[in-house]
Amino acid sequence: MGYRLSRIYTRTGDRGETGLADGRRVSKDHPRITAIGELDMLNSQLGLLLAELQLAGSGHPSLGELHEVLAPCQHRLFDLGGELAMPDYQALQMDEVERLETAIDRWNEEVGPLENFILPGGSRLVAMAHVCRSQARSAERHCQHLNAEEPLRAEGLAYLNRLSDLLFVAARLIARRTGVAEILWRAATKP
C-alpha cells in the first residue's frame, strides 16, 4: 500500500461523504464506512488493553504471552480495514484465523470449562478485555450487515468471530493468572 496522507484534513468530507480507495464517494454513514469505524474502535480499545497488559506484566510476567498473541491482532484489524476501504485488496489469510484458534484452545485448556455465565469485571484489565470482546462482536455485526449488501471475504468475517472468542478466553485467562475471581452472574431473586 503506497498511498500515504501528506495532509490530515482535506475538506472533501465536510458534506458528509468520504472516498474509498477505488475512487467511489460514499456517505459517512454507509455500511462500509460504519464497519471500518467499528474496526477502528476495536483497534483502539485493543491498543488500550495491550498498553495495560504491558504495565501489568511487570507484576505478572505470565501476562506477556497474552500481549504476544494479541499484539499482531492490531495489525490484522488494520489489514481488514484496508480490505473494506479497498475492495480489491486482500490481506487476511486463513492462517491468521487458525493462529487465533490455536491460542483459544491452549488458553481454554488452562482456564477450564465455563460452568456459569460471567460478567465483565473483577479487575480493570479483565473488564478491558471484555470491552474489546464486545467491540469485536459489534464490528462483526456491522461487517455482516455490509456482507448482506456487498459480499465480503470469508476470512475477514471468520477472523472477527474468532477474535471475539479469543478476547473472551483472554479475559478469563487474565483473571486466572492475576488471581482475580470471575464475577458470576446471579439470576434475579423472585419475590
The residues of the chain scoring below 50 in pLDDT are 1
pLDDT of residue 61: 87
CA 76 to chain centre: 10
What pLDDT sits at residue 1? 47
Q: pLDDT tens digits for 158-172?
A: 999 999 999 999 999
End-to-end Cα distance, the chain? 62
Q: What was the pLDDT predicted at 12?
A: 59
Instruction: Report the C-alpha gap between 176 and 38 in whole angstroms.
Output: 29
Fold exhibited by the domain 26-102+123-180? Hypothetical Protein Ta1238; Chain: A; (1.20.1200)
Q: What are phi and psi of 159, to 5 degrees?
A: -60, -45
* 8-state DSSP, 17: E
CA–CA distance, 118 with 88 (Å, rounded to integer) = 40
> Cβ neighbours of residue 51 under 8 Å, at least 6 residues apart?
none
pLDDT 10s digits, 134-159: 999 999 999 999 999 999 999 999 99
Domain positions in the chain? 26-102+123-180
